Amino acid sequence: MPGFELFGEKEKSQVQDVLDSGVLMRYGFDGMRNNHWKALELEAALAKRMESKYAQLVSSGTAALTIALASAGIGAGDEVIMPTFTFVASFESILAIGAIPILVDVDDTLTLDPVAVENAITDKTKVVMPVHMCGSMADLSALKAICDKHDLLLLEDACQAIGGSFEGKPLGSYGDLGCFSFDYVKTITCGEGGALITNNEAYKTNADHYSDHGHDHVGNNRGTETHPFLGYNFRISELNAAVGCAQIERLDNFLDIQQKHYGVIRKELETLSNIEFRRVPNGGVENYSFISFFLPSTAIAKKAHTALDEAGVDACFYWFDNNWHYYKKWEHLIQKKSLGKLPQEVLNQLPDYTKADFSKSDAWIGRTISCLIKLSWTDEQVAERAATMKEVLARFA
């Protein structure tokens, strides 16, 4: 991770196809494009790889989450349960449709704690949104049981975990809907882009229309298409989709490289008694894009992170102090900062997060360090990195 590390001739060839046709938009201009439909090609490849009936390619992972929620009829005042540890896109997508983000604790999977989810359910809850952070997954079987019990939608945010699996199913395909990001720093990239997958035909149809101003895409004249409901512009360009067409063909190779590099580092660190690795739920297989582990305390984890950086071990993250990925620095959500007036439902229902007790999350995230696994490392660089990490972390008992 990320896929841009290994850009090559396949990506160039796919992009050149689009430039040669001159058609950069995914819809229309049939006669000009020389039968090149990169977005459709990538949707077919993604659906096949993710073992889902349908895929809808859009402009970003954030857009994918927003569209997934809207496609299932989620709207103003509906509550969506999400974790305290994620990227800000999670609550942005919820607020974008006037729904209410309900933050709950994570556990040692670094994802939603099923007990906390159960305790957060109200009569307004409509969706449980696990976020498969840093290449691994939530306890999906437990979350699925909760959703079935309460008749809730299970929406998987697999933006950071494409290629992982749970109980033999690709991440994103276990729930009712799954979302991916193909931005510049993801395992496979379009530069900018995202997608949702589902087996529900109605959700697919709604997503298709909603992401293109409500166009119904019936017939071959864009100007005469009808608009059965309101929509917005979340389209991806053919240029971005073209990059993705090349990258998805390379996904399994990227995963193999990540697993190999991850394995070398983990083998070294497993000899240390002062660290504990994040828990992967039974039946889960990571995509190996990060290696995440716990130190004995928050204070020790902070010192260890600083020491790793000083030793030249780059791309290691201490999420507890991160501006974008942990609730403690989401002051714009906590203080309800917005350019315009927020919907009344949001103002009325959004919990007072200034008084929230997420000490259980703090206990895990405060002790966590996550280190990116790069595709471009040589075997020698991986071995050197593993040895350095072991030497540094051994000091922090």
Percentages helix, strand, coil for the chain (3-state, rounded to 5) are 40, 15, 40
Continuous H helices in 234-378? 238-249, 251-269, 298-310, 331-334, 344-349, 359-365
Q: Count other C-beta atoms under 10 Å from residue 147's C-beta.
A: 22
Where do we find the tokens 């939603």?
112
Residue 178 · residue 204 · CB < 8 Å = no
E strand or H helix that includes residue 22: none
Cα separation, 7 vs 4, in Å, equals: 5
Strands 316-317 and 165-166: unpaired
Query: Helix, strand, or coil here: 337?
Result: coil
**Which residue reads 């039968």 in tokens?**
35
Listed in sequence order, the DSSP H helices in the chain are 9-21, 38-49, 61-71, 89-96, 114-120, 140-150, 201-210, 238-249, 251-269, 298-310, 331-334, 344-349, 359-365, 379-393
Contact 72, 176 (CB under 8 A): yes
Active-site residue 186, yes or no? yes
- Rounded Cα gap, residues 182 and 177, in angstroms: 17
Candidate list 38, 186, 204, 302, residue with the active-site label: 186
d(CA 358, CA 366): 12
6: helix, strand or coil: helix
* Catalytic positions: 186
